[in-house]
Amino acid sequence: MSKLSNYFDLIYGHHRFNFLFQDDYILKYCKTTHRDEKILEQSPLIAFIGKTFNIYWDYRDGVLDSASPVESCVILYQVLEKFGNKPFFYVKPNFSENKCKNIISLAAENNGVVITCPNWSYMSFYYAFYPNRKMLRKHNNFSHKKSDIVFLGNLREYRRPGADYVDEFYKYPVYPPQLDLLKHAPNDASREQVDIPYPQRDFFIDKLMNHFPVSIFEGKSTEECLGIYLDSKLQFQPHGVGPTHSIYECMMLGIPSIIPECSYLDDVVRSHNIICSEFMDDIPHEKITELLQNHDMYEETKNGMIDIYEKHMTHQAIIDCVFNQIKDMTS
């Protein structure tokens, strides 16, 4: 039995973690659980409180590489204000060594270590179809697909703010509106947010359409989305605030995606998807064409994606990924 079994008091409640809680697998590490919808104000976090160290698991989306210099440190500041600096592990699924460098430094200065794990989608589609994913994959048949490349999502404009507020208490940047979440923020500091210009999704779709036709679907129900996914050979995934959750939904079904570059993409996502340059100036035409036309290549890619998903991206695999890292680092 693991030395971490029944070790922690778990505080949970945020909906973004429902994926991890669906069959109580995570509770083997917990001696008690306490539901708290607002562990931290407006911040997606669950906390494992242990005798000698804590674990804080954060699921805030990342930032885009050319849109913001660094990610906000607000959640970790909130953690330190609420729980102190008892030794801790800070788990961050959306992780970029460059964009999260201030989070790494802030943790290290306060007895903490940052670790990462694969991502999951916290959208309704994932919860609806994850339990039946193995059966649904049987309908992911190259010969029966009606569409080549599809964008399924919305074309609303996303704000890309900059984390640029610092002072004597908060030497690593946060978004100015987040000052209201912190204890030591001065009342006279500006809460005005300055957005950083960054192309919207239609820019990326137009770039891809200069080379390949793209079918666009908006405003579809969860059931309709499933049909569109299964009918498409490739999905196009232009970023929103950060990498879109549709990437993980497609991987669950074994459908490859075309994705603009982003430092938050991990090795699991990169392994069987098609990565373009960030602004779609470099598109791997030959690889896309081969997947659209070659049945055997498509099946090989699909099966490889399903294998890596089952190995790394199920809720059990993600939980074990985190706790195995912690066991190795505390043994």
Distance separating alpha carbons of residues 97 and 281, to the nearest angstrom: 24
Q: Mean pLDDT throughout 229-245?
A: 94
The domain limits of the chain are 8-120+314-330, 124-158+196-312
- Nearest Cα to Cα of residue 156 among 218, 100, 214: 218
What does the block give as tokens for 127?
């919860």
Look at the domain 124-158+196-312 and name its fold.
Rossmann fold (3.40.50)
Topology alike, domains 8-120+314-330 and 124-158+196-312 = yes
Summary mean pLDDT of the chain: 95
Query: Could you report the per-residue pLDDT of 252-276, keeping only the tens digit for each?
Result: 999 999 999 999 999 999 999 999 9
Query: Could you report the per-residue pLDDT of 85-131, keeping only the tens digit for each?
Result: 999 999 999 999 999 999 999 999 999 999 999 999 999 999 999 99
Cα distance between the two ends of the chain: 14
User: Considering the entire predicted model, what is its pTM?
Assistant: 0.95
Cα angle for residues 47, 49, 54 (degrees, 5° grid): 80
Arch. (CATH architecture) of 8-120+314-330: 3-Layer(aba) Sandwich (3.40)
Cα angle for residues 261, 262, 263 (degrees, 5° grid): 130
Cβ–Cβ under 8 Å, residues 28 and 5: yes
Q: Mean pLDDT throughout 37-48?
A: 90
Cβ–Cβ under 8 Å, residues 260 and 279: yes
Query: Could you report the per-residue pLDDT of 51-95, keeping only the tens digit for each?
Result: 999 999 999 988 988 888 899 999 999 999 999 999 999 999 999
Q: Is the pLDDT of residue 2 over 70?
A: no
**Bridge partners, residue 105, by sequence:** none
| b/e map 148-167, b = 16+ CB within 10 Å | bbbbbbeeeebebbbbbbee
